[in-house]
Amino acid sequence: MSKIFPPKADSPPVKKFSEGFLWGAATSAHQVEGNNHNDWTEWEVKNSKIKIQNAKLQKWPNYILQNYPNPLQEENYISGKACDHYNRYEEDFDLAKKMSNNAHRFSIEWSRVEPEEGKFDSEVIEHYRDVIRALRERGIEPFVTLWHWTNPVWVRDIGGWENPKTINYFLRYARKIVQSLDIKFWITINEPSVYAGASYLFGQFPPNVKSWMRSNRVLKNLFEAHCKCYDFLHEYYGNSIAVGLSHNLHYHRPRRKKNFLDWLAVFFVNYIRDTRQIRLTQGKEDFIGLNYYYLDMIQFVFGGGRFGIADVKNPNHWKSDMGWEIFPEGIYHVLKDLNKYNKPIYITENGLADANDINRGKFIQEHLQWILKAIGEGVDVRGYFHWSLLDNFEWDKGFWPRFGLVEIDYETLERKPRLSSKVYAEIAKANGINETTKVKEEK
Ligand code: BGC
């Protein structure tokens, strides 16, 4: 039933990526490890019933409802044992190696390392050393994220990232990790703007706050933590390492091409969501981590009691299972724009929810075509990490969105590489893209 778009076996790559280009997939601790205890796990239990009530109000396609767990089941909203990656990482890295991956991005779970304030768990640190060893044994370069959205419960109890004290606590934890793990590529924080927005502006993630001021405070603290962590990492390792941050950046387009107000709205949204983020790092990035997912069509609305900026969806657009508008060309525009910062760029996330694996192969190929076009025009892109290696716990949506190159059977925990993983493997192995998909020039 799955349909993929494999490159023709007999046509040689039209264009190669540079030698040493990094090919990988990304995960985050809370989404795959299982059996965590942090601010999310407590929130999940309290919220699962409300989530089901809300899910019942939506129309779900059968191919989602037939899966386990699905949006109408309580298990969907509780991370629980997740993929049990904490115990099965070797098996998972074997799959990454089979995909010809030479890099892997993952995160360290702060709540495991420091379950109580000031008490570090040496066994957990040893575990992450083993994880890194397992990657290196397979010729896979580790990219380590220090914080991917989850907090120890004691950090939540002091007010989380709203409290400036959390910056120092984070730095103490980061120092412990930095001194314990021998890593070249560090990502301090994942998508500060998404976290600050979802948790403190839109009230979607714990602690469900809806306040512009509080969200800004959190954003500021996260960026301050990043900058201080950047300095510490370089004091400790000198210039033998590279430190970055993963930014979620968007491609915004005006819905009406000839409407000045729509252009103005695009300019404003672009500044608030994207440009501001890079400015807040104050140049303390050795590379830019780019997480790119979808297209945002922006419209200025005025009239009928409405005034403001709207993100407009096009019902006929190519979409993922989560309704995100797939637009490979967007990554090219974002990359071209980032070029002005004159830094190497790693695509630290790019992917889609696609339970039937109908679109993933084509998605990967087309995004990579556009990345190649940007590289051809002088943008220094050095690696690509698909999101994600495995199906995983998609935060407040739970397990139903299937982002994995590898499918997880959540009952048996069996791993099944999807057909699209073969497309990705072929590209990584050839370090280039085959002729079947040509970059479409912008109209
Ligand atoms: C996050 C991931 C998440 C992915 C898909 C990114 O913004 O870093 O944790 O699973 O998007 O929603």
Q: Is the CB of 150 under 6 A from ligand 1?
A: no
Before 388, cis peptide (omega within 30)? yes
Q: In ligand 1, which atom is closest to the CA atom of 149? A: 9
Ligand 1: residue of 187, 250, 387, 392 to mutate (most ligand atoms within 8 A of CB) is: 387
CB atoms within 10 A of CB 293: 22
Instruction: Determine which residue's CA is closest to atom 9 belonging to ligand 1.
Output: 28
Q: Which residues pair with 307 in a beta bridge?
A: 302
Q: Is residue 321 lining ligand 1, measured as CB closer than 6 Å? A: no
The pLDDT of residue 1 is above 60: no
Decide: 190 in ligand 1 pocket, CB within 6 A.
yes
Please tell me if the CB atom of residue 199 comes closer than 6 angstroms to any atom of ligand 1.
Answer: no
193 lines ligand 1 (CB under 6 A): no
What percent of the chain is predicted at pLDDT more than 70?
95
Which runs of consecutive H residues, i.e. helices, occur in 254-359? 260-270, 276-280, 329-338
Instruction: Please tell me the distance between residue 33's alpha carbon and the centre of ligand 1 in angstroms.
Output: 15
In 3D, which of 405, 421, 358, 185 has the Cα closest to residue 286? 185
What atom in ligand 1 is closest to the CA of residue 248?
Answer: 7
Going by C-beta distance under 8 Å and a sequence separation of 6 or more, which residues neighbour residue 393? 30, 31, 32, 79, 82, 399
Q: What is the whole-number distance in angstroms between the Cα of residue 258 and the centre of ligand 1? A: 33
Ligand 1 in reach of 349 Cβ (< 6 A): yes
User: Ligand 1 center to residue 78 CA distance, Å?
Assistant: 17
Q: Whose CA is nearest to atom 5 of ligand 1?
A: 394
pLDDT tier for residue 340 given thresholds of 50, 70 and 90: very high
- pLDDT at position 435, please? 60
Query: Can you tell me which atom of ligand 1 is nearest the CA of 403?
Result: 5
Burial class (CB in 10 A: 0-12, 13-18, 19+), 412: exposed
For 125, the enclosing helix (H) or strand (E) is helix 122-137
147, 194, 195, 349: residue to mutate for ligand 1 pocket, most atoms within 8 A of CB: 349
User: Whose Cα sits closest to atom 10 in ligand 1?
Assistant: 394
Q: Is 291 in the pocket of ligand 1 (CB under 6 A)?
A: yes
Longest CA pairwise span in the chain (Å): 62
- Give one DSSP letter per residue of 32-86, joined into a string: HS----SHHHHHHHHHHHHHHHHHHTS---HHHHTSSS-TTSGGGG--TTTT-HH
User: d(Cα 144, Cα 187) in Å, to the nearest integer?
Assistant: 6
Question: For residue 142, is the peptide bond before it cis, meaning its omega torsion is within 30 degrees of 0?
Answer: no
Tell me the β-bridge partners of 72.
Answer: none
| DSSP conformation class of 249 | -
Nearest to 192 by CA among 244, 270, 267: 244
Q: Residues 321, 324, 326, 328: is their CA dihedral positive or negative?
A: negative
What are the strands, taking DSSP E only, across 272-414?
287-291, 295-303, 306-312, 345-349, 381-387, 406-408
In ligand 1, which atom is closest to the CA atom of 246?
A: 8
Separation CA 114–CA 125 (nearest Å): 10
What is d(CA 265, CA 100) in angstroms, rounded to the nearest whole number? Answer: 43
Q: Is 248 in the pocket of ligand 1 (CB under 6 A)?
A: yes
- Ligand 1 contact, 191 CB (< 6 A): yes
Residue of 313, 290, 397, 411 whose CA lies nearest to 353: 397
pLDDT surpassing 60 at residue 438: no
What is the spatial distance between Cα 231 and Cα 177, in angstroms, rounded to a whole number? 15
Mean pLDDT across 266-285: 90
* Cis, peptide link before residue 152, omega less than 30° from 0: no
Does any ligand 1 atom lie closer than 6 A to the CB of residue 28?
yes
- How would residue 214 be classed by pLDDT, with cut points 50, 70 and 90? very high
383: which strand partners? 22, 346
Q: Is 107 in the pocket of ligand 1 (CB under 6 A)?
A: no
Pairing of strands 345-349, 306-312: unpaired
Residues 187-196 have pLDDT tens digits of 999 999 999 9
Residue from 105, 388, 395 to probe ligand 1 pocket by mutation (most atoms less than 8 Å from CB)? 395
- Span 298-309, average pLDDT: 82
pLDDT greater than 80 at residue 112:
yes
Q: Could you tell me how many residues make up the chain?
A: 443
What whole-number distance in Å separates Cα of residue 390 and Cα of residue 254?
34
Q: Beta strands of 163-208 (E only): which ranges?
A: 185-190
- 38 within 8 A of 109, measured Cβ to Cβ: yes
Q: Of 239, 222, 391, 416, give the one whose Cα is nearest residue 321.
A: 391
Ligand 1 atom at minimum distance from 387 CA? 4
Query: Taking residues 32-55, what's their average pLDDT?
Result: 97
pLDDT tens-digit series, residues 368-426: 999 999 999 999 999 999 999 999 999 999 999 999 999 999 999 999 999 999 999 99
Q: Which run of H or of E encompasses 371?
A: helix 360-376
Q: Ligand 1, closest atom to CA 394?
A: 10
Least confident span in 85-89, 197-201, 255-259: 255-259
Please state the pTM of the whole predicted model. 0.94
Our CA dihedral for 250, 431, 361, 108, rounded to 10 degrees, sits at -60
